A = this chain, B = another copy of it.
Amino acid sequence: MQDLISFSSDYTKGAHPLILKRLTDTNFCQQDGYGTDGFCKGAADKILALCDCPEGDVFFLTGGTQANQTIIDMLLKPYEGVVAADTGHIAAHEAGAIEFSGHKVLTIPCKREEMKDGCAVYSDSIGKMDASKLKALIENFYADANHEHMVFPGAVYISHPTEYGTLYTKDELTEISGICREYHIPLFLDGARLGYGLMSKRTDLTIKDIARLTDVFYIGGTKVGAMFGEAVVFPKGVPTGHPIPIIKQHGALLAKGWLLGLQFDTLLTDDLYFEIGKNAIEMADILREGLLKKGYRLFIDSPTNQQFIVMDNEKLKELSKHVRYGFWEKYDETRTVIRLATDWATTGEDIDKLMEFL
């Protein structure tokens, strides 16, 4: 497959060269295990400063499912579930990892189609949780006289960008956060692609806003320049007494924890994380323009690094000889929705090559 150019996802390459260089430079410097080393400390300090939450706690985990499962289990009491969009990763694509930890995912319908120019496309809010629906779910729960026989809404999960590349506005996140605080329900933001969300030209949300409005979120590394790793931030501190045994119990405590600390330390030095996030956005913008120029219909007008288009199956067959793309869903008998994702390392040359085949 190395002969094909791949736009199938944003986790097809290794790590930013600066990370590889530091891994090589420090390879024989012996480190303490399990995240008690200096790199983790340094990276955590940088993150807390960046997020303006000096009282916060930071943990480094290796991947998204692991982070989602462990964080949600930290937030919930046994009889509580987590509220999520029905399109959310934890609802649809974690192989039941949340239920494996004993918790229900309470879903809110978030997939809406609308007609544009006579064609069905997704609404611009696809993948986003509607604050009013969240409020209704919580209020209906407490209004039900029988609610002690039901699953309590114990946390709210959103992703930013969402699985469809869409973004919450500051107003939207503020509203969701307000509802959560009103009902004392912690808000968790999955930031597997946070770098791309923060650098979108169509966002008014900063990382400080996110730290202020949520109770826990993570800065995704796996998809944004790290070899692997997610930096989990509890802006107001971790709510559970002993996070380490909980992390260990989920098989999520990396022996050589410093590998994670070092990567995030590197990404957070000289704004590297943001610069490479910006690259993906700029490449996606060029791609989108090119797609529109060629007459493709955007299935979602995504402001981040994932672009979704409707494509004829015949054309797609041809494309697949040269390019790896992400199959998204069947549109109708003759057309398919595909995803094209740029990333931290995509070059203008890559886009040019891709456009040749489109």
Name A residues whose Cβ lies closer than 8 Å to a Cβ of B. 1-2, 4-6, 9, 11-15, 17, 20, 23-24, 26-34, 37-38, 62-66, 69-70, 73, 77-79, 81, 92-97, 99-100, 102-105, 145-146, 148-152, 222-223, 227-228, 240-242, 244-246, 248-256, 259, 324, 327, 345
Contact assessment for B248 and A94 in the assembled complex, using a CB-CB cutoff below 8 Å: yes
Pair A152/B1 contact, Cβ less than 8 Å: no
With A28-B13, A95-B245, A99-B102 given, is the CB distance from A254 to B62 under 8 Å?
yes
What are 9 sample pairs from A and B whose C-beta atoms fall under 8 A apart?
A4-B30, A15-B27, A63-B255, A64-B255, A78-B246, A95-B149, A104-B105, A228-B255, A250-B250
User: Contacts A246-B79, A255-B228 hold; do A29 and B2 have CB atoms under 8 A apart?
Assistant: yes
List the B side residues contacting A254 at CB < 8 Å.
62-63, 228
Contact between A148 and B248, CB atoms less than 8 A apart: yes
What are the 6 A-B residue pairs with the smallest beta carbon separation, nearest first?
A: A66-B251, A14-B27, A79-B245, A95-B248, A12-B30, A6-B30
**Interface contact B99-A79, CB-CB below 8 Å:** no
Q: Given A27-B17, A249-B79, A254-B62, check contact A93 B149 (CB 8 Å).
A: yes
The reply to whether A222 and B12 contact each other, CB–CB distance below 8 Å, is no
The count of identical subunits is 4
Q: Which residue of B lies closest to A69 (CB)?
A: B251
Tell me how far the C-beta of A243 lies from the nearest C-beta in chain B, rounded to whole angstroms.
Answer: 9
What is the distance, in angstroms, from A177's C-beta to the closest C-beta of chain B? 23
Is the CB–CB distance between A241 and B95 below 8 Å? no
Interface of A is mostly: loop
* Cα–Cα, bound, A308→B251 (Å): 28
A227 near B1 with CB under 8 A, answer no
Closest to A12 in B: B30
Q: Which residues of B contact A62 (CB under 8 A)?
A: 62, 254
Q: Contact at A252–B249, with CB atoms within 8 Å?
A: no
Give Cα A278 to B15, complex, Å.
31
A66: B residues at CB distance < 8 A: 251-252
Chain B residues whose CB sits within 8 angstroms of the CB of A26 once the complex forms: 14
Partner of A222, one of B69, B250, B255, B324: B255
Residues of B within 8 A of A145 (CB): 327
Partner among B1, B17, B103 whose Cβ is within 8 Å of the Cβ of A31: B1
B33 touches A95 (CB 8 A): no
**What is the bound-complex CA distance between A145 and B69, given in angstroms?**
23
Contacts of A246 in B (CB 8 A): 78-79, 95
Known: A96-B103, A103-B96. A152 touches B242 (CB 8 A): yes
- Looking across the interface, which residue of chain B has its beta carbon closest to that of A74? B78
- A244 cross-chain contacts in B, Cβ below 8 A: 95, 148-149
Residues of B within 8 A of A27 (CB): 13-15, 17, 20
Q: Determine whether the beta carbon of A33 is less than 8 Å from that of B13.
A: no
Chain B residues near A11: list those with CB within 8 A.
Answer: 33, 255-256
Q: Contact between A249 and B100 (Cβ–Cβ < 8 Å)?
A: yes
Q: CA separation between A99 and B240, bound complex, in Å?
A: 20
Q: Considering the complex, give the chain B residue whose CB is closest to the CB of A70.
A: B251
